[in-house]
Structure 1
Amino acid sequence: MSKITASMLYNFVQCPHRFTLDLFGNSKDRDPVSPFVQLLWDKGSAFEKEVIEGLETAFTDLSKFKGEEKERMTQEAMKRGDNLIYSGRITAGDLVGEPDILRLHNKFYIAGDIKSGAGEEGASEDSEGKPKKHYAVQLALYTDILEMLGVSGGRCPFVWDIHGEEVEYDLNAPQGVKKKESLWALYGTCLGEAIAISRKAIQTLPALAANCKLCCWRSLCKKEVKESQDLTLIPELGRGKRDVMIASIRTVSDLAEADISRLIKGKKSPFPGIGPDSLLKFQARAKLLQSAGRPYIKKEFALPNAETELFFDIETNPMRDICYLHGFLERRGSSERYVSFFADSPTTEDEEQAFAQAWEYIQSSRPCAIYYYSPYERTFWRKLRERYPYVMTEEQLDELFSPETAVDLYNHVIKPCTEWPTNDHSIKTLAYYLGFKWRDTDPSGAASIEWYHRWVESGDQTIRQRILEYNEDDCIATRVLLEGIRSLSQKSH
């Protein structure tokens, strides 16, 4: 059996089939590492170096050592009671851990990792963030090893995150109000399944999911999913739902042809977590995919009527926590133009200036209707308003994104009111379906982040222009989608 490492569990949480392919897949089937993923690795290493160089306390540095020598020196450092150990290695049984930090705590040790991302996820105006599962299983593996070695200072490992915060992961605490299972129990489940996969006692299946875009096995899995007519080809029917259905309904064709009425008993279906309404929705989508049908309206909706329309899209860099571009396609009657506000450097001054200019432009364009895709623009503008309160008031922000004049096409129209014969409802998928093509050969938000990094480093105007053209195409795609939606509305009458 292969040794189980923290990074392997990280990948397992992201996708169990990735874990399988990393162990048993043919390396020839791997996709090349994308520039964006390489940037993530480089930024992670650079951030770790920055944090370590900024430590004001003495520490034992084992980063130059490898393998058994690193492990031996880690054991010696812990026996001495060194206060802080950087880049150690600990093992127990089939588990191997290389935590960034081992810190003395009540004469024993707790582990920590340095992450170039936020230590928690899901924070909003109404709720606090919660631990990231893929971070938690890594920290739990280190803690498990420390316990087996008899040197654990408790189940309270930590993350030093991009914001300079130390985020404690209480592994014994419930994951949330509704989910009482602890992170420690989650780790135990993941570890058990990972071990079973490594022994070939469990077989995993590929699935279509959002995080496939950054995976090195994405092309192979996409091919296999299509060949097998896997249920995850249906929008919003993810791996978890597929796994509870697959014993009874295995393919898109099976679901399209199933007698759903025989499966539904009152307000329940035979599949845990999938109610009758969801099951009927998935079947309708399966039929649409199976027949290569046309998109249609399932629920009436209203769109604003305005002579001026703004199609709005922003570009952000989560690694720098900056919004570097606000783009608008402005349409007045039969004429349209692209307007952009670009932060030439990743500074608060340039970010604030671009934000202020974008807000001034919107005000000067009124009255108008604004169209965007998904809540991200609204969410990030709220963050910008809090960051730069002199640019606009909270009342102005709320009024700006009022649904009477600002429409989130995804949440207000596409998701609740229409159906499409596609495998997902991303703006790119739907715009491609409607015949639109981006000018760039690699159009994605992730690619734009990597381009902006290179623009900041080099000042190359061709890179800046590439970012602007990509954003302009995103705005045009939003307009194309609106026109497609309006054509559906006309056909429904």
Structure 2
Amino acid sequence: MLVSDDLLLYYQRCDRRAFLDVFGDSGDRDPLDDFLLKLRQDSRRHRQEVLDQYDYHRPDWSGDDWYGATQATLELMEQGVESIYRGVLSASWLPGVHLISKPDLLVRHPGSSRFGDWMYVPHDIRFGKRPKLDYQIVGAFHGLVLSLLQEAWPATTNLVLRGRKPHAVDFLKRVPEMQRLLYECIVSLRRSQTPELFLSRQKCNLCHWYSACHQVAESQRHLSLIPGVTPSRYEQLQGMGITSLAALAHAPRSQLKMAFGAEAGNQLAQQAIASYEQQPLLRDGAMAHLLQSPGNGWLGVPQTAIEIHFDIEAEPDLDLDFLLGALVIDHRHQSQTYYGFMAKTPDEEEEIWLQFLGLMESYPEALIFHFCDYEVKTIQRLARLYKTPRHRYQALVDRCVDIHWWVTHSTVLPVESYALKPIARWLGFQWRNPQANGAQCICWYNEWLDDRDPNCLASILEYNEDDCRATYELKTWLTRFLKPYYFGAIGQSLAVN
């Protein structure tokens, strides 16, 4: 059995992924999307910037010949060269287990090893900005394999991070953790059974097995598809004998409250019922929000003549909001007009901000609907950055209505996630490009900056317009769903008073 540093890295994140990487059908893997390709390109660029600081040697090897690659690396180490790029280290560990380590750099340091009065220290170049635990565990793995070859432990592995000083892995702390995880990984791979899945959208979205695992989860109506079921709660539910959506939906609410606390147990019970019955519910406690929330005025007024739906596309690495999109719904004339203010260069951000501000001020009575709080924060950021008078931008902020807040505080929906796409698709809305998303827009924008392909801007504008229209569809549905409860609550309040 071969256990590599990459395999150990992914085992820490998901034992199922590690198993499928070894035994799964490669035809079931998702193809690389543009965002992953961009991440890899950015990572390679960062790696090259680091490598430019070294006068390194590169061992002569190719393909999957890890034994030949190890011998070529050892020859350079025996010569005592200053640094080695793309070295390969392999060694036996347990019976039938070979470890393969591929640190980005091996750097010569003073010390005592089988080579003489020098030894090598691994350097792992990571595109991340933080020394994540899984990076540190892999760093300890590099140290283990290197120690088996040079017959001396290096003092550390240096994690070379983006925009930070190198982080020295604490071997006293991380080596025991690494050895435990390595043993568990080997045991998992020696079993003939694929590890149970648990879909976590935040962790799984970039995995090439995501579609295959999601298909299995859907066929099982797996509990990990239910919002609020975290890995720890999933283990608790299994311990309680609740292993299916039906069982969770029919579980006594008192049992769930006792296990998870009153609020979390109540929310989990409602979510399970909504998902099992495929019906939306009024969230417990929503009546208080309908009556008391400062921003509830949009529910109580008749349909306004004009309403606006606002969405942004941004490039975080450039600290740039490059598209401010607005869908103006004119109920008087039964018209819908989309405005996409696009910064074709980063220097045009101020220009599109002023254009957007002018459009909003031309409809001073219109409410501005958006999904999540990023839009309001962006209005405030751009106003500060470009010295907009407070009375101008505050007038916009005061008209903003966060539809995501109202959805998550007043409803329980039969969806896997309370992001815009799952909710809008549940309502029947479809994006014209099903593969488009915010990450893809970042790729398109960077491609535009590099190649000036107008199709990139057209694709971004189309996606942003669809986001605005999806927000409008959701707001329309939410109004119909909540208004009877709102006016019922108002009536009860008046009767009591």
TM-score (norm 2): 0.79
Number of equivalenced pairs: 455
**Aligned residue in 2 for 1:103:** 107
Contact 1:208-1:238 at 8 Å conserved across structures: no
1:326-341 mapped onto 2 (5 Å cutoff): 326-331=324-329, 333-334=331-332, 335-341=335-341
* Counterpart pick for 1:406 among 394, 400, 403: 400
Deviations 1:248-274 (A, max 9, x none): 211111111223424655xxx2xxxx4
CA displacement at 1:373 relative to structure 2 = 2.4
Give the Cα separation in 2 of the matches to 1:449 and 1:68.
41
**Aligned residue in 2 for 1:291:** 277
Give the Cα separation in 2 of the matches to 1:143 and 1:381.
49
Aligned residue for 2:141, secondary structure, equals: helix
**Aligned residue in 1 for 2:263:** 277
CA shift in 2, pair 1:61/1:366, >3 Å: farther
Identity rate, percent: 25
CA displacement at 1:100 relative to structure 2 = 1.2
Contact 2:123-2:157 at 8 Å conserved across structures: no
Contact 2:59-2:76 at 8 Å conserved across structures: no
CA shift in 2, pair 1:188/1:329, >3 Å: farther
1:182-201 mapped onto 2 (5 Å cutoff): 187-200=178-191
* Counterpart pick for 1:208 among 199, 218, 238: 199
CA shift in 2, pair 1:16/1:312, >3 Å: farther
* Counterpart pick for 1:428 among 403, 421, 428: 421
Matched, 1:158 2:159: yes
Deviations 1:368-402 (A, max 9, x none): 544332344456677x65xx964147978995896
CA displacement at 1:207 relative to structure 2 = 2.4
1:432-447 mapped onto 2 (5 Å cutoff): 432-447=425-440
Which stretch has the larger CA shift, 68-77 or 251-260? Answer: 68-77
Deviations 1:36-81 (A, max 9, x none): 33343344334433543x32x4222348656233322333434444
> What one-letter code is carried by the residue in structure 2 that aligns with 1:118?
G
From the two aligned structures, give the one with the greater helix fraction.
2
Give the Cα separation in 1 of the matches to 2:108 and 2:305.
66
1:32-181 mapped onto 2 (5 Å cutoff): 32-52=31-51, 54-55=52-53, 57-62=54-59, 67-92=66-91, 93=93, 94-105=98-109, 107=111, 108-115=119-126, 117-120=127-130, 131-149=131-149, 150-155=151-156, 157-161=158-162, 164-168=163-167, 170-171=169-170
> What one-letter code is carried by the residue in structure 2 that aligns with 1:472?
E
**Aligned residue in 2 for 1:123:** none
Give the Cα separation in 1 of the matches to 2:374 and 2:423.
18
> What one-letter code is carried by the residue in structure 2 that aligns with 1:29?
D
**Aligned residue in 2 for 1:224:** 216
**Aligned residue in 2 for 1:31:** 30
CA shift in 2, pair 1:215/1:257, >3 Å: same
CA shift in 2, pair 1:282/1:263, >3 Å: closer
CA shift in 2, pair 1:460/1:204, >3 Å: same
**Aligned residue in 2 for 1:125:** none
Give the Cα separation in 1 of the matches to 2:406 and 2:340.
26
Aligned residue for 2:224, secondary structure, equals: helix
Deviations 1:89-133 (A, max 9, x none): 223423211111223455444333333x4322xxxxxxxxxx334
Give the Cα separation in 1 of the matches to 2:468 and 2:394.
22
**Aligned residue in 2 for 1:124:** none
CA shift in 2, pair 1:112/1:480, >3 Å: farther
CA displacement at 1:212 relative to structure 2 = 3.3
**Aligned residue in 1 for 2:491:** none
Aligned residue for 1:246, secondary structure, equals: helix
Give the Cα separation in 2 of the matches to 1:366 and 1:62.
67
Aligned residue for 2:205, secondary structure, equals: helix
CA shift in 2, pair 1:68/1:140, >3 Å: same
Give the Cα separation in 1 of the matches to 2:129 and 2:189.
29
CA displacement at 1:292 relative to structure 2 = 1.7
Segments of 5+ residues of structure 1 without an aligned counterpart are 121-130, 174-181
* Counterpart pick for 2:412 among 413, 419, 431: 419
Contact 1:322-1:351 at 8 Å conserved across structures: yes
**Aligned residue in 2 for 1:19:** 18
CA displacement at 1:483 relative to structure 2 = 1.9
Contact 2:274-2:413 at 8 Å conserved across structures: yes
> What one-letter code is carried by the residue in structure 2 that aligns with 1:85?
I
CA displacement at 1:359 relative to structure 2 = 5.3
* Counterpart pick for 1:316 among 292, 300, 314: 314
Give the Cα separation in 2 of the matches to 1:406 and 1:223.
38
Give the Cα separation in 1 of the matches to 2:145 and 2:420.
45
CA displacement at 1:444 relative to structure 2 = 1.7
* Counterpart pick for 1:236 among 204, 228, 236: 228
Deviations 1:301-348 (A, max 9, x none): 443548764433222345666443222223455544222222324xx4
Contact 2:256-2:265 at 8 Å conserved across structures: no
- Superposed CA RMSD: 3.5
CA shift in 2, pair 1:189/1:259, >3 Å: farther
CA displacement at 1:140 relative to structure 2 = 3.1
Aligned residue for 1:339, secondary structure, equals: strand
> What one-letter code is carried by the residue in structure 1 that aligns with 2:472?
R
**Aligned residue in 1 for 2:344:** 344
Contact 2:38-2:443 at 8 Å conserved across structures: yes
**Aligned residue in 2 for 1:179:** none
Aligned residue for 1:31, secondary structure, equals: coil
CA displacement at 1:487 relative to structure 2 = 1.8
TM-score (norm 1): 0.79
> What one-letter code is carried by the residue in structure 1 that aligns with 2:83?
L
CA shift in 2, pair 1:444/1:58, >3 Å: same
Give the Cα separation in 1 of the matches to 2:232 and 2:110.
41
CA shift in 2, pair 1:341/1:237, >3 Å: same
Which stretch has the larger CA shift, 104-113 or 241-250? Answer: 104-113
Give the Cα separation in 2 of the matches to 1:109 and 1:398.
58
CA displacement at 1:6 relative to structure 2 = 2.1
CA shift in 2, pair 1:34/1:172, >3 Å: same
CA shift in 2, pair 1:221/1:102, >3 Å: same
Aligned residue for 1:437, secondary structure, equals: coil
Matched, 1:391 2:386: yes
Give the Cα separation in 2 of the matches to 1:371 and 1:353.
22
> What one-letter code is carried by the residue in structure 2 that aligns with 1:344?
K
Matched, 1:483 2:476: yes
Aligned residue for 1:374, secondary structure, equals: coil
Aligned residue for 1:324, secondary structure, equals: strand
- Point out the structure with max Rg over C-alpha: 2
CA displacement at 1:442 relative to structure 2 = 1.7
Contact 2:280-2:411 at 8 Å conserved across structures: no
Deviations 1:119-173 (A, max 9, x none): 22xxxxxxxxxx3344333333223333444444434521232xx4334154469
CA displacement at 1:469 relative to structure 2 = 0.7
CA shift in 2, pair 1:355/1:243, >3 Å: farther
